[in-house]
Structure 1
Amino acid sequence: YKLRATANWVQKPYEKRNFWERLATFDLASDKCYVVQPQNTNPPPNLNVWRERIWLTVMIAPALLIQALWYYIIPENSYFHTWHPIVAFIFYHLAFVTFIIRLVKHITYYMDIYGTFDEYKRPRDYVPDKYVYRLILSILIYTLARTGGGLVLGGYDRYSPPSLGHTISWAFPVKIGIWLITLDFFFYFYHRAVHTFPFLWKYHSKHHSTKHPTPLQSILADDLQEIIEIFLIPLAAS
């Protein structure tokens, strides 16, 4: 339990880290998260869920507003009035990456303020040396696939700009809600299975290479696991 994976890259000065290690630096929390802390006997913190929902809305809304504003400003008879799928993909991928950066900083802020689970026994783990490249690759695959999947499953059509009551029905929020519940159903049984059956665990074990991960380390996965979680399960839920 006390054995920690080797993470010598963290000890290097930033300028001596390679490209992948510099990107992984983004996942680092404050120093206190990586050392054992005194046991906190206070009750667990209770965050206001609506405050977090407002934060998420504020973080997500700008990309949607920018596209809506573009449609409003650029004349309808202009070729550039609507976005080519490639343009939409690049724009929303950058927006997604920006959101992830802000989300990780948001979570690590809470880690610093409120502490982390079991921190009086064991602190957070650094990304192991052997998985730094794999983690960054997993993040890239995740963001690209989620962006592309959203456009495909959402039926993005350049010549039918999204608008409530027109290309997006008023039942759309209900459909999204049902899809999310179905997705959670599929993911639960898949995740239960990989922890139950040894022949599946070998494809999931890399995800647990660190016992006390930081936020982005939760994305670390094997190739087959990424295919299942990013493509097959959302497709099955659809």
Structure 2
Amino acid sequence: MATTTATTTTATAAPVAPATPKVANKGRMTASWHTKPSSEWTFHERSLIWLGVATANDPSNPAPAPPVYPKSAPVPVYPVWKMHRYIAPRALGPLLVHHFFTQYTGIQVPVWVATTLYLAYFIVYGTQVFAWNNAMTTKFGTFDGAAGRDGVPDVDTTSVALGLFMVVISRATIAIPYLYEPSAPVLDWYTVAMLPVNCFMFAVAVDFWFYWYHRLMHEVPWLWRFHRKHHTTKHPIAALGAFADHEQEFFDMVGIPILAWLSWRINFATWWVSTCYILFIEASGHSGLRGYFQNPTTWMLRYFDAELCLEDHDIHHRQGWKKSGNYGKQTRLWDKIFGTQKPRIEGTPDNINWDDPMDFPAPVPEEKKE
């Protein structure tokens, strides 16, 4: 795909109006629980606040509304290197600490200790990813921004909170005891050198199995009932990746990762790094963040018009049962090969502004918040 620079500059693409938060939507997606006094929150609602899924309603210091841009406004670019800058240190950090601890002390970390520590870290990492998405969408807005975004529904705060924790817990407690070998080096030069190749291939393998499982749920009538709930949201936020029926959640959390690993075998360290990248893309893919934002492990597919961008899954959610398309999770490779790729609306090649790189917003000093 050609890297065409849009002729319209961001100076002519000012927001048209503040977004209207979906606080009390009609029907199934009504989300007003976070506006109640904190004393009335349930344990799971408190968990969602802690995870950064929602912000407590504070009339004295209301959260800023994200900007809304016309669909013709140039779409800024979030460079791949900035994604690596965010994810790579967080993914490699625990491995390096573990590796050097073992090398310099000679102590082999038992499986149960490694599982517990990596799981705890993965939960913290997940909260950082949600916070990152919230900050970015507040600053840059979302695709189809005039429609606003759905929050976690009042009737599903428990299931979403449990789903988010289970995504992390299930992947860690299944994979780590199987892949981690206390007597083997955590990192070696071959593992590090092959990380780009193996992360790419594992993402493509994840995508192959997800593509067919996802497509079949859309196109086989009796399977749609297991996916219908997830499509109740037409404009999801990052947390609503876990808004699904139990059957879908099980296959997402267990089935797909196992099938992907059987298709492309990787060791523990490579699995850990890949999983940190996959979680980041899964959460961001439901955020609707308005930017040309590729998967950093499969970005090279852009040259074959098969890269995945955030707008692709956002368009998928706006569609109905058999006409959604864009079934991929990590790439558009299988959508392209099997003819289910849908055209982008805002992030078209001639509307991407490569001269406008996005950046993570700087924290607001406390004195400026008052």
TM bucket normalised to smaller = 0.7 to 0.9
Question: Are 1:211 and 2:234 an aligned pair?
Answer: yes
Matched residues in 1 for 2:71 and 2:216: separation? 35
Which position in structure 1 is the counterpart of 2:100?
69
Deviations 1:56-107 (A, max 9, x none): 1122222112212321332x2xxxx111111111111111111111111111
Per-residue deviation, 1:40: 6.5
For structure 1, the residue ranges without an aligned partner over 5 or more in a row are: none
**Partner secondary structure for residue 45 of structure 1:** strand
CA contact (8 A) 1:206 1:220 kept: yes
Moved more, 197-206 or 36-45: 36-45
Please state if 1:128 is matched with 2:150.
no
Within the alignment, does 1:16 sit opposite 2:44 as a pair? no
Question: Does the 8 Å CA contact 1:186/1:233 hold for their aligned counterparts?
Answer: yes
**Residue deviations 1:111-165 (CA, integer Å, cap 9, x gap):** 0111011111x11111111110000111111101111233245x21122232315
Q: Distance in 1 between matches of 2:35 and 2:143?
A: 24
Answer yes or no: is the 8 Å Cα contact 2:206–2:256 preserved in 1. Answer: yes
CA separation of 1:209 and 1:193: change in aligned 2, threshold 3 A: same
Give 2:34's aligned amino acid: V
CA distance change for structure 1 residues 39 and 66 in 2, over 3 Å: closer, same or farther? Answer: same
Deviation digits for residues 155-181 of structure 1 (CA, Å, limit 9, x no counterpart): 211222323158x59657644533321
1:7 pairs with 2:27: no
1:141 corresponding residue in structure 2: 166
Q: Answer yes or no: is the 8 Å Cα contact 1:195–1:201 preserved in 2.
A: yes
3-state SS of paired residue (1:88): helix
Q: Secondary structure at the match of 1:158?
A: coil
Asked if residue 193 in structure 1 is aligned to residue 226 in structure 2, the reply is: no
Query: What amino acid is the match of 1:213?
Result: P
Q: Which one is further off, 82-91 or 203-212?
A: 203-212
Aligned to 1:157: 181
Alignment correspondent of 1:47: 78
Is there any run of 5+ residues in structure 2 with no aligned partner, and where?
1-24, 56-62, 263-370
Could you say which residue in structure 2 is the equivalent of 1:90? 116
Quote the offset at 1:3 in angstroms.
3.8
In structure 1, the residue corresponding to 2:76 is in which secondary structure? coil
Contact preservation (8 Å) 1:138, 1:220: yes
TM-score (norm 2): 0.56
Q: Please give the per-residue CA displacement for 1:22-57, whole angstroms capped at 9, x wherever unaligned.
A: 112220264515xx9464653011111111111111
Distance of aligned partners of 1:214 and 1:31 in 2 relative to their CA distance in 1, 3 Å threshold:
farther
Distance in 2, matches of 1:150 and 1:192, equals: 26
Q: Aligned ranges for residues 108-127 of structure 1 at < 5 Å?
A: 108-120=134-146, 122-127=147-152
Q: Tell me if the contact between 1:127 and 1:210 (Cα under 8 Å) persists in the aligned partners.
A: no
SS of aligned partner of 1:93: helix
Are positions 1:28 and 2:54 aligned together?
Answer: yes
Residue 226 (structure 1) aligns with: 249
Question: Which residue is equivalent to 1:181?
Answer: 204
SS at match of 1:32: coil
RMSD between aligned alpha carbons? Answer: 2.4
For residues 30 and 200 of structure 2, what CA distance do their matches in structure 1 show? 42
- Partners of 1:11 and 1:173 lie apart in 2 by 44
